[in-house]
Amino acid sequence: MRFLVTGTAGFIGFHVANRLLDEGHEVVGLDGFTDYYDVTLKERRESLLRARNGYFGERVMLEDFSRLEAIWREQQFDVVIHLAGQAGVRYSLENPRTYIDSNVTGTFNLLELARARPVRHFMLASTSSVYGANEKIPFCETDHADHPMTLYAATKKATELMSHSYAHLFNIPVTAFRFFTIYGPWGRPDMAFFKFTRSILNGDPIDVYNNGDMRRDFTYIGDLVEAIWRLQSLAPPLPLDRPQTGNSGDTVSPQAPWRVVNIGGGSPVALMDFIGAIEKACGRKANCNFMPMQPGDVPQTFASADLLMELTGYKPSTTLQSGISEFVAWYRDYYGI
């Protein structure tokens, strides 16, 4: 099959594209190479993909509809895995417009193209941030997610709603998946696990927000990729094609071939234990600079993995220490430490 994957020079897109190529598929990768973080890292990921048979990369911004349309017109895609977008909770306080341009307009452009030339399955990256400060745990896909704490979360929830309307109006099978704090080799330098590792190895202090009183449902990149791989073959059925009985916990829409699925292990970890895992892998202690909670942050994320398990027979299982050790080993190798 031929997959369109957006964000292939990014952390998650790079790993997903590699998995699809490993499985023998063709991948057309799109990326805008924005300078939100070190472009050199993006260039390195892309160069590794370009060296592989079956990969074709295009440098394009998702806001550029005419370029996207030209690419779409030249190809026939079976599945779209839309991973590109402006990420980062705190950065949305500094540069909110880029979230509208990239996440909302970019996703709209892709949905319009899928409307014109339908695909077998349109997969859309969302985030656990849509749950906001929900106090009910674990976070379940059927919970209300109507009170975003940041514009980043608001744009991701908007793309979920947009994709549902397109699924309903034009019978485009859509799966939106909500990520829970992804980490691992080739990660983003703006993320905590990357910044903590860099600072600990350099002997610099690390900023620890909410005085360390936070918990996150960390998900190793390999587990995320496995879940996406399994979900891509499970396009939601049209309402008329569904059996009369089924899983009452499924989020498949009664009006459209659309569902939303958490991708997380359901095992939140205290922030200080997370830092401890990095210290162990680095062989050095952290110098912690304890800080108050930052605007837009939430004290805890906790995924229900029940639906993912029901649909795929799989849920993330990589231990934190194992995953962190893999990242630190990659970091040392990449930066020659």
Catalytic residue from among 131, 152, 183, 220: 152
Give domain status of residue 322, yes or no: no
Q: How far apart are CA 271 and CA 197, in angstroms?
A: 14
Q: What is the pLDDT of residues 123-147, one digit of tens each?
A: 999 999 999 988 888 999 999 898 9
Give domain status of residue 145, yes or no: yes
Give domain status of residue 278, yes or no: no
Q: Is the separation of the CB atoms in 176 and 83 below 8 Å?
A: no
Give domain status of residue 154, yes or no: yes
Q: Give the chain's domain count.
A: 1
Give domain status of residue 197, yes or no: no
Q: Is the separation of the CB atoms in 241 and 88 below 8 Å?
A: no
- Residue 23 belongs to domain with CATH number: 3.40.50.720
Catalytic residue list contains 152? yes
Give domain status of residue 68, yes or no: yes
Contacts for 240 with CB less than 8 Å, ≥ 6 apart: none
Query: Which residues lie across from 215 on neighbouring strands?
Result: 270, 300
Mean pLDDT of 82-109: 88
Tokens of 312: 């795929």
Question: DSSP string spanning 249-291?
Answer: T----SSSSEEEEEES-S--EEHHHHHHHHHHHHTS--EEEE-
Q: Which residue has the higher pLDDT, 136 or 15?
A: 15
Which range marks the domain in which residue 157 is found? 2-183+219-264+304-316
Q: What is the pLDDT of residues 301-317, one digit of tens each?
A: 889 999 999 999 999 99
Q: Measured in whole angstroms, how far is the alpha carbon of residue 259 from the centre of its chain? A: 16
Residue 125, pLDDT score: 97
Percentage of residues in the chain having pLDDT higher than 90 = 81
Give domain status of residue 321, yes or no: no
What pTM does this model have? 0.95
Q: How far apart are CA 259 and CA 235, in angstroms?
A: 9
Give domain status of residue 117, yes or no: yes
- Give the three-state DSSP class for 58: strand
Q: What is the pLDDT of residues 206-259, one digit of tens each?
A: 999 988 899 999 999 999 999 999 999 999 998 877 765 445 568 999 999 999
Q: How far apart are CA 51 and CA 56, in angstroms?
A: 10
Rg (CA), the chain: 19
